[in-house]
Amino acid sequence: MALVLICANLAAFFLGGYHTLGPYLFLAGLACAFCATVWMAWCQTTREFSALLAVTIGVAIVDEYAHTVSGVFTYFDKGTPSLLTVFGWGPFVALIVVAATCCRRFVPFRHRAGWFGVGLPLLSVIMIAALAKSQGYLGIIGWELVLVYGLMGLASLYYCYTRPLGWGLSAMACSVALGAGMEYVGSVEGLWSFHFGQPLCLFMVFVWALRVWTILAVCYLLGISFAKCTDKP
């Protein structure tokens, strides 16, 4: 499954004409994500790995469609959404989960977060709204995107309430950091462009936290916890 996903990413990369851009930094990041995908495929059970990929691709299709239709960003191949990012979410989310698992070792708060965990998605939503307003994006966000953000916000609230606070923090930190790097590199190398031409759309950085929490929440509802090694009642 990991090899099929990697092949799908490479096929989308060439079929979309992205190779003509010479995006070497993006390819370096993609290679790291591929390594994380193979590592997860080796360490997780088939059920866990297949569920993560299926949920990730499903969320990616809905999320990317809402963003492209609203005009927040446009892809080089004009896809709505681009197959490169639909398949690319799989390795990228795997990279975030692997990074969060490593960071989790150094973060305390191993017990269930409860209401303290609710503050994490609330902070992300506030930052999304504030940064979208500061860069002028509130005026172009359509109802599709509002609905997607609302559903992701609810899923994130549920997940951060039920899981350990340290795991929620680790997932958020890695999502924001890696998301910012990926969004910036892809933009400056021409793979996608934001509506107002900035090299980095700041509110998208915190959208990545909601995306990852949502994917993990759906997996958790399916009985799969990627924080199980650090869970305490």
pLDDT in tens, 148-169: 999 999 999 999 999 888 899 9
**Confidence band (pLDDT; 50, 70, 90) for 120?**
very high
% of the chain at pLDDT higher than 70: 94
Percentages helix, strand, coil for the chain, rounded to the nearest 5? 75, 5, 20
**What pLDDT was estimated at residue 27?**
96
Using DSSP's 3-state secondary structure scheme, residue 111 falls into strand
Q: What are phi and psi of 42, to 5 degrees?
A: -75, -35
- Give residue 116's pLDDT: 78
Please determine, for residue 93, whether its predicted confidence score (pLDDT) is greater than 80: yes
pLDDT score recorded for residue 231: 44
| Backbone φ and ψ of 192, nearest 5° | -150, 160
CB atoms < 10 A from the CB of 14, how many? Answer: 11
* Separation of alpha carbons 190 and 31, rounded Å: 18
Please report, in angstroms and rounded to a whole number, the separation of the first and last CA atoms in the chain: 33
Quick check: helix, strand or coil at residue 194? Answer: strand
Instruction: State the pLDDT at residue 229.
Output: 46
pLDDT of residue 68: 94
Decide: pTM greater than 0.85.
Answer: yes
pLDDT, one tens digit per residue, over 31-89 is 999 999 999 999 889 999 999 999 999 999 999 999 999 999 999 999 989 999 999 99
